[in-house]
Amino acid sequence: MSDETRFQWDAMIADVAGGNEIDPYLQQAQGELRDDESVLQLTVSSNWAKNAIESRHVQKLHEWLHRYDPQRSWNIRILVDTAYMPPPDTIDTPADDDTLEMFDPPTEIAPQKVKRLAQRRQIVPLGADTGSGLNPRYTFDSYVVGSSNRLAHAAAMGVAESPDGSKFNPFFIYGGVGLGKTHLLHAIGNKTRERNPNARVLYVSAETFTNDMVDAIRRQETNHIRNKYRTMDVLLMDDIQFLQRKAQTQIEFFHTFNDLHNANKQIVLASDSSPHDMSELEERVKSRFMWGMVASIDAPEVETRIAILQRKADELLIEEFPIEVAEYIAEQVTTNIRELEGTLSTIYRYAELQGRVIDADLVREVLKQDDARMSEVGRPISAATIQRVVADYYRMKVSDLKGKRRTKRLAQVRHIAMYLCRQMTDLSLVDIGQDFGGRDHSTVINACMKIEREIDRDTKLAEIIVQLTRKAQNS
């Protein structure tokens, strides 16, 4: 982006902020005003950033565009490009410059490492619309089908091919953590958009839906939020169990569901438990979940686990991945797909850092360090455990991570702990923020985004993350 374009974008978002602090998601986006298309195009580096801008700023951006040229009907297009790096001056800006503490700069990445990272990134072409909240990597083509998920996959394909509510409406998918429910939701959305680029598709978690409603009530903008959800052709809502114990949100979802269903709009829901087991949902809400089709996804059998590992190895560009290695990992890791893929990623990272090939000896060496975790799910890891492990590693106190001080070094360590909590626990963003001194969920999102970016370009930090993960698992 040229300096002139950057200045124009900065001036625009400053105007939108109206004298308040500028949201870092907007500040880190690349903005381009395309007068010839009557489009404001934003490029961001993650779906988190895209969802945040859509939920918080689209209305104000539309208002700015209307003031800019009221004679036009403006559109806002938000693209996700995982290769896009925000301008350096918008990243990791410390809160108190006068209290900075020095810490080791990022390790230089070898040229061949940079090349491999660039190859692994899936870049969304400029001009392509990824849909609302959809991850373009999650498609039916990349979904591994086995006896444990065949019914859910077939039903999802049927919905994607006829997303007019005529097949199963709603379509409800449930299963344990990390078994591929989210992948199927995105695949339905991506297939729908592929067949009909004009279809209005929205993927959102129940947690985001709740936060949107809370923000809308606080800002007295409930009509805007209702229009956002009730005008969709396909609504894909993940982690629906999050609505339990939230009476006001259940009421709003109940009316949203009715409006969409009555208009023959497709609703797809995913949960970690069946509707029958969600005892803290209102009966009228629960009964609507069972109007259409309910399909479960079970833990994958060994043949499917091997196929998943081989696909993941292709994604990681592992040149040699012997079948006996895949079989051994598949026999050891039996819990879920996320655990399976995470194990292979850890092995790959370990091999890369050690300069070794992935063979049976290396796999046994890595798995031996946390054999109890690999054989079966043990005690859940708590945020307190992760905070203690991270604080000990950096020779800090847990109270520092929860406190108000924001020196650069302390902020970096706090972000690492938040990132590990998000990766290793089932805590919501709100809960993680509460465990770190009552911080806002947006702070947690920003922390996770920063650490994800730094891991990609800093091999030293990536190795530290692997070490801290093992320490927390073995603690």
Domains for the chain: give ranges and CATH numbers.
3-91 (3.30.300.180), 150-297 (3.40.50.300), 302-375 (1.10.8.60), 383-474 (1.10.1750.10)
Structure tokens at 173: 């998918």
Instruction: Report how far apart, in Å, the C-alpha atoms of 385 and of each of 79, 372, 401, 454 are.
Output: 37, 17, 13, 23
Q: Where are any strands of DSSP class E within 95-214?
A: 171-175, 201-205
Under 8 Å between Cβ of 384 and 475: no
How many whole angstroms separate alpha carbon 46 and alpha carbon 40? 18
Instruction: Report how far apart, in Å, the C-alpha atoms of 301 and of each of 152, 308, 336, 383, 454 are.
Output: 15, 11, 10, 31, 35
Listed in sequence order, the residues at least 6 apart from 433 whose beta carbon sits closer than 8 Å to its beta carbon are 439, 440, 441, 443, 444
Burial of 261 (0-12, 13-18, 19+ CB in 10 A): middle
Helical spans, DSSP H, in 1-94: 3-17, 24-27, 47-56, 58-68
**What's the pTM value of the predicted model, to 2 decimals?**
0.54
In what helix (H) or strand (E) does residue 41 lie, and over which residues does it extend?
strand 39-44
Listed in sequence order, the residues at least 6 apart from 369 whose beta carbon sits closer than 8 Å to its beta carbon are 470, 474
User: Per residue of the chain (475 residues), what is the pLDDT tens digit?
Assistant: 555 555 577 778 877 777 666 777 788 888 888 777 788 888 887 777 787 788 778 878 888 887 877 777 788 888 877 666 666 544 443 333 333 333 333 333 344 444 444 444 443 333 334 446 888 888 898 888 888 889 999 999 999 988 887 778 899 999 887 788 989 999 999 999 888 888 899 998 888 888 888 877 777 777 777 888 888 999 999 988 888 878 888 888 899 899 999 989 999 999 988 888 887 888 888 888 888 899 999 888 888 888 888 888 888 788 788 888 888 888 888 777 877 887 888 888 788 777 788 888 888 888 776 554 444 444 568 899 999 999 999 999 998 898 888 788 899 999 999 999 988 887 878 889 889 988 888 788 888 888 887 886 777 888 888 889 888 888 7
Q: What is the pLDDT of residue 12?
A: 81
Helical spans, DSSP H, in 276-322: 283-289, 302-315
Structure tokens at 44: 């961001």
